[in-house]
Amino acid sequence: MSKRKIICGAVFGATLAAVTTAVWCFAGGAGLAAENSSPDSSSSSPAAANAGIDTKLKQREERLRELQGIEQSLQQSDAERQKIEDEIAALKADREKLRHDLVEAADKVRALEERASDAEERLAREVAQEKALQASLEGRRELIGHVLAALQRIGGKPPPAVIVSAQDILVAVRASMALGAVLPQLRDEARALAGDLADLVRLRNEIVAERDRLNSGLGELREGRTRLSALIDARQASVANNELALGEAAKHAAALAQRAKNLRDFLASLDSDIAQSEKRAAEDRKAAEALAISTQNSFTAASLKEPTRLSPKINFAEARGLLPLPVAGSIFRDFGEPDEVTGQARGVSLTTRPRAVVSSPIEGVIAHAGPFRGYGQLLIINAGNGYHIVLAGLGHIDVAAGQPVLAGEPIGEMGDGNLLTTEVAKATSAGPVLYVEFRKDGSAINPGPWWAKTDQRKVRG
């Protein structure tokens, strides 16, 4: 349903209420004084006229609250997005530092690995030298054993200095001479071998210890590098998650911003429509007041000329089931049916042929006859006892305000097309449409019980 249809429907009902209230107050003379009117009828006009505007104002308040909520959400979204961006920047900075630390750790590992390789090469050379010396010693083991045994014997039991024979002395001298010639060489060689063996043992122990230290350092560095890599992976995952969250936050913020823009545009359009509707409602109220004054003047003049003819002879309440339709046609929207304009139809809309004759369905007095904007030619018939019949959408009328009419008397004709420009029937028919509304004491009532049975069968198909 468009915004303008609601306003137009409300104003249409307000106008009919104003006009029929006025004629009901003034058409019956002393017997229909204004103080005997329904309490609701005097206030129905402004209330109905303002109904559409009040609806729009309420809708505006709801949309404004919604817009304020969206703007608050946008502020929160901006703050959250800034927080995520800061976290991403910090994580990226930490990631770069960690990468540099990892490079330094890798350099240290490589340096230690090179040192370990050099130490292993030195160890291999020393082991080879040790094996060569051990082989050399093994080859001279027998000679060295004899020499060492002889030295032990000489040192343990030296020969007597006097009680020896010459032969013994000669042997001893010769042995001493031989040992004296051999012993220094053996002693020097043994001393050198012992020093070499001691050096090899010392070097091997030092290299083994150095290898242990290197292996321990390499293990620690590998663990550190593993920790750094794991930390970088975790930070990278955190950056990726935050970037994903940032993207989602940006999408959410964009959607909120678009929704806020749509609401602002809608509120601007609604404000313009409310202003136009208020202006139109004011103009229609002024026109309705002028129409009521004109109708009052017409009744006053008519009562002075023919005071006895202002009260219909037929009791409208007793005419149930007897009234013909005012025009040959079909009802396409009956009283109380859903109406895209006002929610529920308060009258009957009849489709007719072009230029169809419109007749008064009952004896009465013309309370109003003339054009009224948006409704074509408007006729209101005073049927007495607070009953009025409203006919709208005529192309031409043949009666004047204050004129008595008989049941079935021609009072006008339809036009060539739909003259109801107020959206009452515009949305459903392009041909002539006659709008009929029965009112009792200023309130719309169902006209169905008054139609003759033949017309009811015609209406129901």
Task: Write the DSSP string, 31-46.
Answer: GG-GGGS-TTHHHHHH
Q: Return all residues near 137 (Cβ < 8 A) that are at least 6 apart.
A: 144, 193
Out of 41-45, 222-226, 279-283, 423-427, pick the least confident: 41-45
Out of 6-20, 64-78, 163-177, 434-448, pick the least confident: 6-20
Helices 141-156 and 166-305, packing angle to 10 deg: 120
C-alpha distances out from residue 80 to 245, 249, 360, 397, Å: 10, 8, 73, 71
Q: Does pLDDT of 459 surpass 60? A: no
381 pairs with which residues across the strands? 366, 389
pLDDT: which is higher, 12 or 45: 12
| Alpha carbons 441 and 51: distance in angstroms, whole number | 21
| Alpha carbons 245 and 380: distance in angstroms, whole number | 69
User: pLDDT class for 7, splitting at 50, 70, 90?
Assistant: very low
Q: Encode pLDDT of 203-223 as tens digits.
A: 778 778 878 887 887 787 788
User: pLDDT class for 300, splitting at 50, 70, 90?
Assistant: low
Question: What single DSSP character describes residue 79?
Answer: H
364 pairs with which residues across the strands? 405
Q: Encode pLDDT of 85-95 as tens digits.
A: 888 888 777 77
Q: Which of 326, 361, 337 is nearest to 434 (CA)?
A: 326
User: pLDDT class for 455, splitting at 50, 70, 90?
Assistant: low
| Alpha carbons 305 and 297: distance in angstroms, whole number | 13
Share of the chain above pLDDT 90, in %: 19
pLDDT at position 128 is 83
Q: Does pLDDT of 44 surpass 70? A: no
| Alpha carbons 351 and 425: distance in angstroms, whole number | 9
User: pLDDT class for 10, splitting at 50, 70, 90?
Assistant: very low
| Alpha carbons 307 and 30: distance in angstroms, whole number | 11
pLDDT at position 77 is 81
**Mean pLDDT of all residues in 378-390:** 94
Mean pLDDT of the chain, nearest integer: 74
Q: Does pLDDT of 400 surpass 90? A: yes
| Alpha carbons 443 and 364: distance in angstroms, whole number | 19
Q: Does pLDDT of 14 surpass 90? A: no
- DSSP letters, 194-251, are HHHHHHHHHHHHHHHHHHHHHHHHHHHHHHHHHHHHHHHHHHHHHHHHHHHHHHHHHH
User: pLDDT class for 363, splitting at 50, 70, 90?
Assistant: very high
**Mean pLDDT of all residues in 352-378:** 89
Q: Does pLDDT of 457 surpass 50? A: no
Burial of 307 (0-12, 13-18, 19+ CB in 10 A): exposed
pLDDT at position 53 is 80
Q: Does pLDDT of 27 surpass 50? A: no
User: pLDDT class for 436, splitting at 50, 70, 90?
Assistant: very high
Q: Are 447 and 347 in contact (CB under 8 A)?
A: yes
**Mean pLDDT of all residues in 41-62:** 66
Q: Return all residues near 281 (Cβ < 8 A) that are at least 6 apart.
A: 7, 10, 11, 14, 49, 50, 52, 53
Q: Name the range with the highest mean pLDDT among 132-141, 142-151, 431-440.
A: 431-440
What domains can be seen in the chain, in order of their start residue? Answer: 311-461 (2.70.70.10)
**Mean pLDDT of all residues in 325-329:** 94
Burial of 185 (0-12, 13-18, 19+ CB in 10 A): exposed
Residues across the chain = 461
| β-pair type (410-413, 396-397) | antiparallel
